[in-house]
Amino acid sequence: MHHARLLRRVRAFVSAYRHVKHIFVGSRFMEDLLQRGGIAPEKLALLSPVLNAEPLPPLSPATDSRTVLFAGRLTPEKGLARLIQALSKVTCDWQLVVAGDGPERQSCERLAKQLGIADRVRFLGWLSPAEMIANLQACACVAVPSLWPEPFGRLGPEAFLHGRPVVAFAVGGVLDWLEDGVSGYLVESGNVTGLARALERLLVSPGLRHQMGQRARRKAVEDWSARLHIERLLATFAKAQAPS
C-alpha cells in the first residue's frame, strides 16, 4: 500500500507539472529527471538555494583537525554505515562526528563497536544552528556518503561556505557543486575503499585541505549569493509574464 500511495503521488505531481508554466529546480540532475519524466525543457528554470547570507561566516582554518563531520537523518540511503566502514580502513588518526538522528542510529553504533572504532565515533543527535556552525568550523572535512540521488545535497555547499572540502559519493545533484580534486573528492557510489582513500588523503594533508577549502569558499560566495538568486528569480518571473 505504501508503494501504491507513493506512485499515485508521483503521478499527481507529474500531471500537475504539465499545467505549470515554469518550474524551479535546484540542480541539473533534477532538471534532467523531470525532462525524462516528460516535462518540456523550456518549462524548467535552474535556481540553486541561497547559502551565503550576509555577513559571511568567519573562516576558521582548523589545520590540525582530524575530524570528519557527517550530518543528516540516519537512514540507510544516507550512507552512514558505508562511511563508518570506510573510516575503519583509514590508517591515520581521525574522529567522526555524527550530527543527526534516525532509525539507523542503533545499527550504526553497533557497527562502530563491531569494527573496534566506537571510541572514535561521536553521535551528537540533532544540533541547533549555532552548534552546527561550530562543528563545521571545527572539522577537517565533511562527508556526504549518500547512496540515493540527492536532489541537491545542501550539507556540502554549507561546508563550502565555511571553507571545508567535501568527500561524497557521485550521485544526483552532488555532481552539480562538487568538482573532483578541486573542492573535495567524488567517489563511485558505494565504494567503501575509494571513500577511505579520499578521506585519508585529506586528513593527512592540512595544506591540501586548506587549498580545497579556499576554492570551496570561493564557489559558495560566487554561486550561491542572495543577490544572484534574486536576479535569477526575477528573470524567470519576467519570462513567465511575457506573452506566449
Q: What's the whole-number average pLDDT of the chain?
A: 89
pLDDT digits 0-9 by tens, 180-230? 999 999 999 999 999 999 999 999 999 999 999 999 999 998 888 888 888
CA distance 134 to 12: 41
Rounded mean pLDDT of 82-87? 98
Q: By the 8 A CB rule, do 227 and 120 touch? A: no
For the chain, the domains span: 2-50+225-241, 67-220
Q: What's the fold here for domain 67-220?
A: Rossmann fold (3.40.50)
Residues 6+ apart with CB under 8 A from 203: 66, 68, 90, 92, 93, 94, 140, 141
Average the pLDDT over 29-36 and give the result: 87
Query: Which pLDDT band holds residue 54 (cuts at 50, 70, 90)?
Result: low
Task: Please write the tens of the pLDDT for every residue from 92-131.
Answer: 999 999 999 999 999 999 999 999 999 999 999 999 999 9
pTM (two decimals)? 0.88
pLDDT of residue 6: 61
Of 83 and 15, which is predicted with more confidence? 83
State the Cα angle at 151 between 147 and 157, rounded to 5°: 90
